[in-house]
């Protein structure tokens, strides 16, 4: 017998589980041992030693190793060993960098891993899908991925999309009854849910019958493509740039070597110098450092509760010019409290805050008794047409499920209505809420077998479906003037920033069809709920900060126009003459027409997820880089189309998370702002170390080139060049990647996404500082060499020290876009430490006798440091003053 052929009770028996209880801890543990983790095992891990070896397959490293070999063969053992050690250390650094990047990506994967709702020991809990075991009772809502293969035990209009398995993209309606047929294919097993398929509508509960590789998906897992890391635009651009730089560096190096040989210098010396120079000057590690900087940035974002799913998003974030954000839950707390009822044509006010169950009802400032006509009815129906539960933990009440529904439970509790009262009714059918329908219905049967449809939803959606109203004890036809009165009440509540929900009923007989199409009409209006959802405290400031950073914030909501506008005004999001557009207006507009007014529009109300796509397109046509948030299944297309798709970590569905490039762990708008700020910062930091590295390289090449042109001896020996490449160019560059943003970072318009790496004067800065670094090093060399021509090692040591110091001073200049004095030069503690340790290593190489023969150095007398200090400060100081004069 197959699972789909068995009745639910049979399935549960076989798996030793009750759908009301779930598994217990012991069972879970046993089964995890028996079946392993619920994972598809398709990816292979690269072993560590291979990662280490990979560091040496680099072309330049191979050249270096060849040079070592030649040096060894020629009997230059000191050179050979020194180069060997440097190559090894270089490899180790590369290895650790890669490890770090890998680890942070792994952590990311873990953070964005899919979760599952399971029932264990009678309690619903959210666990990583990986920990689901056979026999678990799981609940799936629209937008979720089915966590394992399950036999459906309950379906609320649940539909799944199984194209990943069957190729069929039409949704399949799921039910719980056994199918007594043999040899059914997966697509015909309509009472089964399959791992990895998507719930597109409704919700359902199922018992897990297969996990991991023992699922239908597991059987075809080998067919699934492994996701490969694609380079980000910046990495790609740098890789291309790198190719050009390699050619330039090689040409210059060749020039140095040829000049040297022509001047009669020993060929071996020139060869080794050429190789080291090429190794030092070619920024072959640039893309790798960029990756490290990006993944370090990603880690910082995690600490700020933003999970980046695609590395490229880090770059795009810095260019965002519009944020389209959901209102409910992202800008607001999503903690609803019913504050007002409209019942029997009167406004009734409700006291009490949050989910606290204490509160009273007031009419004209007088307390209303619980037997007030229809009050009990309205509140009871609100708890029946409901998908959440009110829970208590350590004396504090909270909601499990939709907060809008939760608010209705709390309101009912204020007159003492409890779940027990609901148990007198049996729910026969549920048509779930979604943002397109903007309403939810249930059919209930009371103790006497009488059936009732209860519908609640957006008032402007419900009213057209309403023909009657409840007045005192009677049902009467809803007249035009009654409708006007209700509409006024809706506007009135919405103007006070209240979220409005209407509730209505329709008596049914057992003969009536339960077909969706016939149900939600000819309703009898009962009343309106008005609930507040306070804005999150930090949102107002975040919107303001974005505005100063040239980023426009737009509110998108399914809520009523007036509610949305009122909250938008509170948040200072909607200016005096800003436009508010409604979904029905969007319907009548083409994308072009929308483009014309979109820059003046700040709020989109009563929209459905489809409208979001149109909004994204219109903004993009206008040249904007759009960040768009979403949580439901239907938001996925718009999220995909936007430049930065953002999903919700808490209330988001799996589909939107998969479509998004950024997940907000706290669902908070302010987190988007933090992520953008971080995104800008990371890009600036990358610019900083490109600036530093390339200027250093230019300096290194030029000092050698100048010396050859002037027919001087080599100012630097090969190991010194390699040392500079490793130490001076290594540590400080990484520290620049950890720099904090400049103070004015969020006071400037977003970066133009088309701008090149060298824009905003970066190219000039690199070349001018590079030339200066080369020049001062050469001068230091020449001055010393002229005084003591017999002691070349001494002059070389001075040149080496000047080069290193000039770079180490210049690195502080790289922290600021304008002048080094714009900010405390020593504000980056990592950089200070990196520079100090570089200086320490420099002193060791110069003054520690055992190392002197290896690095061709000699101890410098104190007086030389004056010369070195003065010269090495020039490249930085010269421009610092020049600029401050100008300003
Ligand atoms: P948003 O998330 O932007 O506030 P929704 O699509 O969730 O928009 O809600 C739109 C409207 O649908 C709300 O203004 C409310 O009137 C109604 N609504 C929201 N949640 C529910 C629910 N659980 N049941 C019935 N109606 C709801
Ligand atoms: Mg909502």
Could you tell me the domains of the chain? Answer: 1-228 (2.70.150.10), 234-302+675-886 (1.20.1110.10), 306-332+536-667 (3.40.50.1000), 337-532 (3.40.1110.10)
Widest CA span in the chain: 116
In angstroms, rounded to a whole number, what is the distance separating the alpha carbons of residues 810 and 802?
A: 12
Tell me what pLDDT residue 881 has: 67
Residue 339 tokens read as 């504050």
- Distance from residue 399's CA to the centre of ligand 2 (Å): 15
Q: Flag the least confident range among 458-472, 720-734, 740-754.
A: 720-734
Atom of ligand 1 lying closest to residue 558 CA = 8
In angstroms, rounded to a whole number, what is the distance separating the alpha carbons of residues 415 and 314?
A: 51
Q: Is 640 exposed, middle or buried, given 0-12, 13-18 or 19+ CB atoms closer than 10 A? A: middle
Mean pLDDT of the 643-663 span: 89
pLDDT band for position 178 (cuts 50, 70, 90): very high
Q: Flag the least confident range among 241-245, 487-491, 498-502, 686-690.
A: 241-245
Reference 56, options 104, 82, 103, 93; nearest CA is: 93
Residue 294 tokens read as 């990006």
Ligand that lies nearest to the alpha carbon of residue 563, given by its number in the listed order: 1
- Distance from residue 615's CA to the centre of ligand 1 (Å): 20
The torsion angles phi and psi of 175, rounded to 5 degrees, stand at -140, 180
Contact (Cβ atoms closer than 8 angstroms) between residue 533 and residue 346: no
Which of 328, 404, 606 has most ligand 1 atoms within 8 Å of CB, for mutation? 404
Sign of the four-CA dihedral 27, 29, 35, 37: positive
The torsion angles phi and psi of 472, rounded to 5 degrees, stand at 50, -115
Residue 877 tokens read as 């100081």
- Residue 30 Cα to chain centre, angstroms: 36
Residue nearest to atom 20 of ligand 1 (CA): 404
Residue nearest to atom 25 of ligand 1 (CA): 457
Spatial CB neighbours of 527, under 8 Å, sequence gap ≥ 6: 341, 342, 343, 344, 374, 378, 470, 502, 503
Q: Name the strand (E) or helix (H) holding 5.
A: none
- Distance from residue 632's CA to the centre of ligand 1 (Å): 12
Verify whether ligand 1 is closer than 6 Å to residue 456 (CB atom): yes
Number of CB atoms found within 10 A of residue 37's CB: 15
Task: Name the percent of the chain in helix, strand, coil, to the closest 5.
Answer: 50, 20, 30
Ligand that lies nearest to the alpha carbon of residue 634, given by its number in the listed order: 1
Reference 687, options 305, 194, 318, 135; nearest CA is: 318
Verify whether ligand 1 is closer than 6 Å to residue 573 (CB atom): no
Residue nearest to atom 10 of ligand 1 (CA): 558
Sign of the four-CA dihedral 178, 180, 185, 190: negative
Residue 461 tokens read as 């959606």
Catalytic sites, residue numbers: 326
Verify whether ligand 1 is closer than 6 Å to residue 327 (CB atom): yes
Verify whether ligand 1 is closer than 6 Å to residue 402 (CB atom): yes
Q: Is 309 exposed, middle or buried, given 0-12, 13-18 or 19+ CB atoms closer than 10 A? A: buried
Pairing, β 426-431 against β 389-393: unpaired
- Distance from residue 435's CA to the centre of ligand 2 (Å): 7
Reference 727, options 644, 788, 804, 664; nearest CA is: 804
Tell me what pLDDT residue 119 has: 94
Number of CB atoms found within 10 A of residue 113's CB: 12
For residue 850, CA distances in Å to 418, 603, 805 come to 84, 72, 23
Mean pLDDT of the 535-551 span: 96
Tell me what pLDDT residue 508 has: 92
Please provide the distance, in angstroms rounded to a whole number, between the alpha carbons at the two ends of the chain: 84
In angstroms, rounded to a whole number, what is the distance separating the alpha carbons of residues 402 and 393?
A: 18
Verify whether ligand 1 is closer than 6 Å to residue 458 (CB atom): yes
Please list the residues that pair with 338 across neighbouring strands.
Answer: 531
Ligand that lies nearest to the alpha carbon of residue 629, given by its number in the listed order: 1
Atom of ligand 1 lying closest to residue 387 CA = 23
Spatial CB neighbours of 797, under 8 Å, sequence gap ≥ 6: 846, 856, 857, 858, 860
Looking at per-residue confidence, does 681 or 243 come out higher? 681
Checking phi first, is residue 720 left (phi over 0); if not, alpha (psi -120 to 50) or beta?
Answer: alpha
Mean pLDDT of the 504-514 span: 88
- Distance from residue 130's CA to the centre of ligand 2 (Å): 28
Verify whether ligand 1 is closer than 6 Å to residue 603 (CB atom): no
pLDDT tens-digit series, residues 388-411: 889 888 889 999 888 999 999 999
- Residue 604 Cα to chain centre, angstroms: 24
Q: Flag the least confident range among 71-75, 380-384, 483-487.
A: 71-75
DSSP string covering 500-516, please?
Answer: EEEEEEEEE-TTS---H
Number of CB atoms found within 10 A of residue 362's CB: 15
Q: Flag the least confident range among 153-162, 275-284, 580-589.
A: 275-284
662: pLDDT strictly greater than 70 = yes
DSSP string covering 292-332, please?
Answer: HHHHHHHHHHHHTTEEESSHHHHHHHTT--EEEEESTTTTB
Verify whether ligand 1 is closer than 6 Å to residue 435 (CB atom): yes
In angstroms, rounded to a whole number, what is the distance separating the alpha carbons of residues 280 and 770?
A: 14
- Distance from residue 664's CA to the centre of ligand 1 (Å): 21
In angstroms, rounded to a whole number, what is the distance separating the alpha carbons of residues 342 and 338?
A: 11
Please list the residues that pair with 23 across neighbouring strands.
Answer: 120
In angstroms, rounded to a whole number, what is the distance separating the alpha carbons of residues 445 and 429?
A: 10
pLDDT tens-digit series, residues 445-474: 998 889 999 999 999 999 999 999 998 778
Verify whether ligand 1 is closer than 6 Å to residue 557 (CB atom): yes
In angstroms, rounded to a whole number, what is the distance separating the alpha carbons of residues 665 and 651?
A: 10
Looking at per-residue confidence, does 726 or 683 come out higher? 683
**Helices 59-73 & 77-111, crossing angle to 10 degrees?**
160
Mean pLDDT of the 697-717 span: 91
253: pLDDT strictly greater than 90 = no
Ligand that lies nearest to the alpha carbon of residue 531, given by its number in the listed order: 1
DSSP string covering 448-479, please?
Answer: TS-EEEEEEE-HHHHGGGEEEEEETTEEEE--
The torsion angles phi and psi of 201, rounded to 5 degrees, stand at -155, 155
Number of CB atoms found within 10 A of residue 619's CB: 26
Verify whether ligand 1 is closer than 6 Å to residue 440 (CB atom): yes
CA neighbours closer than 13 Å in the CB half-sphere of residue 353: 1
877: pLDDT strictly greater than 70 = yes
Residue nearest to atom 9 of ligand 1 (CA): 558
Q: Helix, strand, or coil here: 214? A: helix
For residue 413, CA distances in Å to 105, 380, 395 come to 46, 10, 15
Mean pLDDT of the 602-627 span: 94
- Distance from residue 11's CA to the centre of ligand 1 (Å): 37
Q: Flag the least confident range among 125-134, 288-297, 667-676.
A: 288-297
């Amino acid at each position: 017998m197959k699972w789909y052929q068995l009745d639910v009770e049979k399935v549960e028996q076989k798996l030793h589980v009750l759908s009301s209880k779930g598994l217990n801890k012991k069972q879970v543990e046993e089964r995890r041992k028996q079946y392993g983790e619920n994972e598809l095992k398709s990816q292979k891990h690269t072993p560590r030693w291979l990662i280490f070896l990979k560091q040496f397959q680099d072309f330049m490293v191979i050249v270096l190793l060849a040079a070592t070999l030649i040096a060894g063969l020629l009997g230059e053992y000191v050179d050979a060993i020194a180069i060997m050690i440097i190559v090894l250390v270089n490899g180790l650094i590369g290895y650790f960098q890669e490890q770090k990047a890998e680890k942070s990506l792994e952590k990311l994967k873990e953070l964005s891993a899919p979760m599952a709702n399971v029932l264990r020991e009678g309690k619903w809990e959210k666990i990583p899908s990986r920990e689901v075991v056979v026999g678990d009772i799981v609940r799936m809502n629209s937008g979720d991925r089915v966590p394992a293969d399950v036999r459906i035990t309950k379906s609320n209009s649940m539909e799944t999309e199984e194209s990943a398995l069957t190729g069929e993209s039409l949704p399949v309606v799921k039910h719980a009854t056994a199918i007594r047929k043999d040899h059914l294919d997966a697509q015909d097993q309509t009472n089964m849910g399959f791992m990895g398929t998507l719930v597109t509508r409704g919700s359902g509960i199922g018992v897990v019958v297969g996990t991991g590789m023992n699922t239908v998906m597991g059987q075809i897992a080998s067919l699934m493509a492994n996701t490969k890391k694609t380079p980000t635009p910046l990495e790609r651009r740098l890789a291309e740039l790198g190719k050009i730089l390699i050619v330039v560096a090689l040409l210059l190096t060749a020039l140095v070597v040829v000049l040297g040989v022509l001047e009669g210098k020993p060929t071996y010396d020139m060869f080794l110098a050429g190789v080291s120079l090429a190794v030092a000057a070619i920024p072959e590690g640039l893309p790798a450092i960029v990756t490290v900087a990006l993944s370090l940035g990603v880690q910082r974002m995690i600490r700020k509760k933003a999970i980046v799913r695609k590395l490229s998003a880090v770059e795009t974030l810095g260019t965002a010019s519009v944020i389209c954000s959901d209102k409910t839950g992202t800008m607001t707390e999503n903690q609803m409290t019913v504050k007002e009822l409209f019942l029997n044509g009167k406004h009734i006010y409700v006291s009490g805050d949050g989910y606290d169950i204490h509160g009273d009802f007031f009419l004209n400032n007088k307390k209303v008794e619980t037997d007030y006509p229809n009050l009990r009815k309205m509140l009871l129906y609100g708890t029946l047409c409901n998908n959440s539960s009110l829970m208590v933990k350590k004396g504090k009440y909270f909601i499990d499920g939709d907060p809008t529904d939760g608010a209705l439970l709390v309101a009912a509790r204020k007159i003492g209505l409890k779940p027990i009262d609901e148990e007198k009714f049996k729910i026969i059918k549920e048509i779930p809420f979604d943002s397109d329908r903007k309403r939810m219905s249930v059919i209930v049967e009371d103790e006497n077998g009488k059936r009732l449809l209860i519908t609640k939803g957006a008032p402007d959606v419900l009213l057209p479906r309403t023909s009657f109203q409840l007045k005192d004890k009677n049902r009467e036809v809803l007249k035009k003037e009654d409708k006007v009165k209700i509409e006024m009440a809706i506007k009135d509540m919405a103007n006070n920033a209240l979220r409005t929900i209407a509730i209505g009923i329709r008596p049914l007989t057992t003969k009536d069809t339960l077909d969706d199409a016939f149900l939600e009409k000819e309703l009898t209006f009962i009343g309106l709920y008005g609930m507040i959802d306070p804005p999150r405290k930090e949102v107002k400031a975040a919107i303001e900060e974005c505005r100063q950073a040239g980023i426009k914030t737009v509110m998108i909501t399914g809520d009523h126009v007036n509610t949305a506008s009122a909250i938008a005004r509170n948040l200072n999001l909607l200016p005096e003459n800003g436009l508010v557009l409604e979904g029905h207006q969007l319907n009548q507009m083409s994308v072009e027409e929308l483009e014309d007014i979109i820059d003046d529009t700040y709020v989109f109300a009563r929209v459905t997820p489809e409208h979001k796509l149109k909004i994204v397109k219109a903004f993009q046509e206008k040249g904007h880089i759009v960040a768009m948030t979403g949580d439901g299944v239907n938001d996925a297309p718009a999220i995909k189309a936007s430049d930065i798709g953002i999903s919700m970590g808490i209330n988001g569905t799996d589909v939107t998370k998969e479509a998004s490039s950024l997940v907000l762990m706290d669902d908070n708008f302010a987190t988007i702002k933090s992520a953008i700020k971080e995104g800008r910062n990371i890009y600036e930091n990358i610019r900083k170390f490109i600036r530093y590295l390339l200027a250093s390289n230019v300096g290194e090449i030029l000092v050698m080139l100048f010396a050859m042109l002037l027919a001087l001896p080599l100012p630097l020996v090969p190991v010194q060049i390699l040392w500079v490449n490793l130490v001076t160019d290594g540590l400080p560059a990484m520290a620049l990647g950890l720099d904090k943003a400049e103070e004015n970072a969020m006071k400037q318009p977003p970066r133009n996404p088309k701008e090149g790496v060298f824009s905003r004067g970066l190219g000039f800065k690199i070349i001018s500082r590079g030339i200066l670094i080369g020049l001062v090093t050469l001068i230091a060399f020449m001055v010393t060499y002229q005084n003591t021509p017999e002691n070349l090692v001494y002059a070389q040591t001075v040149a080496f020290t000047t080069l290193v110091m000039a770079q180490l001073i210049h690195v502080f200049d790289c922290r600021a876009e304008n002048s080094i004095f714009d900010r405390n030069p020593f504000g980056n503690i990592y950089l200070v430490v990196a520079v100090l340790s570089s200086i320490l290593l420099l002193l060791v190489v110069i003054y520690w006798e055992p190392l002197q023969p290896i690095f061709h150095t000699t101890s410098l007398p104190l007086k030389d440091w004056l010369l070195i200090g003065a010269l090495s400060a020039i490249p930085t100081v010269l421009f610092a003053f020049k600029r401050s004069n100008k300003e």
